Amino acid sequence: MARRVDTSLIPAAPTLDYEKAFWVEGLTRIAGIDEAGRGALAGPVYAAAVVLPQTGKIVKQLRGVRDSKEMSAAQRERWAIEIQRLADQWAVGSAGPDEIDAYGIVPATRLAASRALQILEPDPEHLLIDALTLYESAIPQTSLFKGDQRSLSIAAASVLAKVARDAELRGLDGDFPEYGFARHKGYATAAHRAAIFSLGPCSQHRLSFSPMRVDTS
């Protein structure tokens, strides 16, 4: 069962309002899910799942956690440690460039999220997902527009996914230093595009994405 929630009201900081609604129903394992790297030209797409404890004090303990795009790298790194320490459950999954090219970025993102969910044990009782539906999952779920700005669980997942992906791209920079992955994390900066134009793509580039994509029609 999946439902989509789209509301124009964005809180000043992510809350537990959605999680609490399910806690009242007797559900305790509510997993927030978010991705990182969906729009990059290179590297895997990552997704994380986070189940926060059923307590209101977690909002104070994780004050400062928000949409990972609104945080500095240092903030994300610091809060990732706290999220992992305080969460009841957390996991990270990914799908590589070859899978992105084979299936498309949205199915690959779903694959990464499913891999993260497979690590969690026991299974969550409900999923809160940032603007995505996992059709293959039997777990009831709610898709939230701008979910990483609304739900603390989703915001926490966005931080873990971003930190894990950034770490991998820094590692890939050692294998492919000429592309500057450590600096731009695979995104379409002018320097990255210039490197692709000069050197051609490497094995970590998504060949189905422009500017690597070749129209054979």
Q: Is residue 109 within 8 Å of 97, Cβ to Cβ? A: no
Q: What is the CATH number that goes with domain 2-199?
A: 3.30.420.10
pTM: 0.93
What mean pLDDT comes out for the span 8-12?
A: 81
Q: What is the pLDDT of residue 217?
A: 42
Q: Which two tokens stand for residue 27?
A: 């559900």
Chain centre distance of CA 35 = 2
Beta pairing partners, 49: 33, 91
CA-atom Rg of the chain in angstroms: 18
pLDDT in tens, 119-177: 999 999 999 999 899 999 999 999 999 999 999 999 999 999 999 999 999 999 999 99
pLDDT attached to residue 97: 98
> For 91-124, what is the HEC assignment?
EEEEECHHHHHHHCHHHHHHHHHHHHHHHCCCCC
On the question of pLDDT at 92 being above 80, the answer is yes
Split at pLDDT 50, 70, 90, the class of 212 is confident
Minimal CA–CA distance to 173: which of 183, 184, 181, 164?
Answer: 181
164 sits in which H/E element: helix 152-175
Task: Report the candidate in 194, 210, 202, 119 with the shortest Cα–Cα distance to residue 157.
Answer: 119
